[in-house]
Structure 1
Amino acid sequence: MPLPADQKLIALSEDLLKQFDTRFGLHPGFRPAHAKGIMLSGSFTPSPDAVSMTRAPHITRASTPVTVRFSSSTGLPVIPDNDPNANPRGLAIRFHLAEHAHTDIISHSTDGFPTRTGQEFLEFLRAAASRDSSKPSALEKFFSSHPRALAFVRTPKPAPSSFARETYFGVTAMRFINRDGVSRYGRYRIMPDAGTEHLDADTAKSKDANFLYDELTARIARGPIGFQILVQVANPGDITDDATIHWPEDRPLISFGKLSLTNVVADNAHAQRNIIFDTIPRVDGIEPSGDPLLEVRAAVYLLSGRRRRQAPEQ
């Protein structure tokens, strides 16, 4: 995909990358955030209910090949799995529609996002990195004017017992259009067939530094790993362009389809370097909402992906 023409957007995206580099250090060949990860492959089978939401091609086919990436937070490629900073966990899904044609879902294990815009997120990162000892601190000042960022930070983020036993949430809303042209806004929610299970802090601390990745590899060797993809549908009047706002839990959940993961991707490190996920759907039947995070996140993903591909392979 080409870079957006908006020079302000490109400059903001480059500033965000620089801030991640400052915070976590330079790790050539790795992502600036969610650096530690593993990729699996499998298939997606759509739900009969999904045609009421969208006419997208992976809903009108019997099945579609997928590649997914589970990941840990931060830009540290070797962050221990039992480090609290490794939460929330990430799950990115690529639906392979044809050669050089795909659409993605980007999700993580905490519902929502700390800021509404990319500029606010940059200010948040800068405040978090500030070494100014004044009181109130830069971060306290930021939180005082961005209470939803403080709420996100304070939201419990326990470690899962397995990547396959975690629930993941799409960060931003999408606009779904069905074959009759009817559109509704919704957010993805991805739920594990094995059930959601979290560890208390003491149990997590006692685990090995690579326990989640080792467990996932052992689990998939025993058989397929399943997830249900759902879409939480907004009511008329719900805010659909602000990832910091949660919709009430009484909003309906429509079944989108089932993921069945069957294999660890061969040459995993190389595959992770080369795949560039996209926050924007770029497929007929699913469109971006007006959420301002979408374009800047897509630009950051693309810029960092190009940089990652250019780094010498170890």
Structure 2
Amino acid sequence: MGFDDLRVWVLAGLILLAGLSGAGAQEKSTAEQTVDVMNKLWGSHAGMRANHAKGLVTEGEFTPSEVGKSLSMAGIFAGGTIPVTVRFSNSTGLPTLPDGDRNANPHGMAIRFHQADGTDVDAVTNSLPFFPVKNGDEFRDLLTAVSQSGPDAPHPTPLETFIAGHPRVAAAGAGVSTPSSFARETYNGVDAFIFVDAAGKRQPFRFKIEPFEGDDHLSPDAAKVKSPNFLSEELRARLAKAPASFHLRAQLANPGDQTADPTQPWPADRKVVDLGTITITKVVTNSAAAEKELMYLPANLEEGIEQSDDPLIDARNDAYAVSFGRRQ
């Protein structure tokens, strides 16, 4: 992967899960520093997210399987169908970025499960196979290196130096490309969480959301000639004809598998279970207004689903809160 490709992907894809832990009392928190860098890279746009500024809010329902109930005491798996609010999105903080631009990758799918008692649970996923760096401080440093590595920067640039010491950066984005539809993409939970059942048994897992129709991606040349808003347009047209469905799945860790490093996915032979079906039925009436009020948080959980020791979970929450505060 050449420098130009690396820089484009870092500017676009990495930022999806940006969010970092606090710094010393004498300076801004790392989360604030991270959002500052995003605003430097893409500008500040009133009412918009620092990243994933362009998106579409939809509604539907989740029907759990019996497998989820056996793994977790969480209410979202306990009974019948419940409503969901799902936001699909492009990367970057550019609200007018064409959907076919390679900087719009990876794409995101954030789900909020609404229960009858008022409890909401969030799952925040994206099309990256794993995260490119281990922790929040590394991510801040990566973004800083990007901001200092323009075309006139002497070699080795700060970004080249960073990547040389962090080989997972290039590997994480190597296979990301433009889907033909938001409904034809697989979305991954790069952070590990813990299922807890009624007996207290704990099972580490990562979410994986797979479309019923399977993945379908465009070549770079085909993506370039698409309408600037083709992903939103396609999904609106699709849902006007029929719902779009996804399998909500979980990859289960084996005993001894680490949970703290999001750059290291578990081996492909780890068991994957089907937790139920997410069915998207419609785009909300005023998506632009709805998305401004939404803040999805990876740690918005309930009894039966717990955080692991992955430091990016809290880190992401911190940065999302900073971004939300600024867009309000």
Q: Which residue of the partner structure matches residue 143 of structure 1?
A: 163
Is residue 320 of structure 2 the alignment partner of residue 292 of structure 1?
A: no
Task: Work out which of the residue numbers 81, 88, 94 in structure 2 matches 1:70.
Answer: 88
Is residue 82 of structure 2 the alignment partner of residue 47 of structure 1?
A: no
Q: Which residue of the partner structure matches residue 222 of structure 2?
A: 203
Q: Which residue of the partner structure matches residue 235 of structure 1?
A: 254
Q: Which residue of the partner structure matches residue 36 of structure 1?
A: 54
In 1: Cα distance, 2:285 partner to 2:327 partner: 19
In 2: Cα distance, 1:290 partner to 1:109 partner: 22
Map 1:1-314 → 2, pairs under 5 A: 8=24, 11-98=29-116, 101-130=119-148, 131=150, 133-153=153-173, 155-309=174-328
CA drift of 1:98 comes to 4.4
Gaps spanning 5+ residues in structure 2: where? Answer: 1-19
In 2: Cα distance, 1:6 partner to 1:70 partner: 28
**Contact 2:21-2:137 within 8 A present in 1 as well:** no
**Contact 1:281-1:288 within 8 A present in 2 as well:** no
In 1: Cα distance, 2:116 partner to 2:76 partner: 10
In 2: Cα distance, 1:92 partner to 1:124 partner: 24
Percent identity reads 41
CA drift of 1:143 comes to 0.8
Q: 1:19 to 1:6 in 2, by over 3 A?
A: closer
CA drift of 1:99 comes to 6.2
CA drift of 1:61 comes to 1.8
Deviations 1:187-236 (A, max 9, x none): 00000011111111221122111111100000001011100000000111
**Contact 1:14-1:300 within 8 A present in 2 as well:** yes
**Contact 2:46-2:327 within 8 A present in 1 as well:** yes
**Contact 1:176-1:184 within 8 A present in 2 as well:** yes
Aligned-partner residue type, residue 248 of structure 2: I
**Contact 2:295-2:324 within 8 A present in 1 as well:** yes
**Contact 1:66-1:93 within 8 A present in 2 as well:** yes
TM-score normalised per structure 2 = 0.89
Aligned-partner residue type, residue 231 of structure 2: L
**Contact 2:53-2:93 within 8 A present in 1 as well:** yes
In 1: Cα distance, 2:249 partner to 2:175 partner: 23
In 1: Cα distance, 2:190 partner to 2:137 partner: 17
Deviations 1:101-143 (A, max 9, x none): 3110000011111111111111111111114722211011101
Q: 1:98 to 1:305 in 2, by over 3 A?
A: farther
Q: 1:51 to 1:295 in 2, by over 3 A?
A: same
In 2: Cα distance, 1:256 partner to 1:36 partner: 29
In 2: Cα distance, 1:5 partner to 1:71 partner: 24
Deviations 1:79-117 (A, max 9, x none): 001100100000000011246531100000111111111
In 2: Cα distance, 1:112 partner to 1:8 partner: 29
Q: 1:23 to 1:99 in 2, by over 3 A?
A: farther
In 1: Cα distance, 2:288 partner to 2:245 partner: 23
TM-score normalised per structure 1 = 0.93
Aligned-partner residue type, residue 51 of structure 1: K
CA drift of 1:270 comes to 1.1
CA drift of 1:178 comes to 1.1
**Contact 2:21-2:315 within 8 A present in 1 as well:** no
- Count of residue correspondences: 305
**Contact 1:281-1:287 within 8 A present in 2 as well:** no
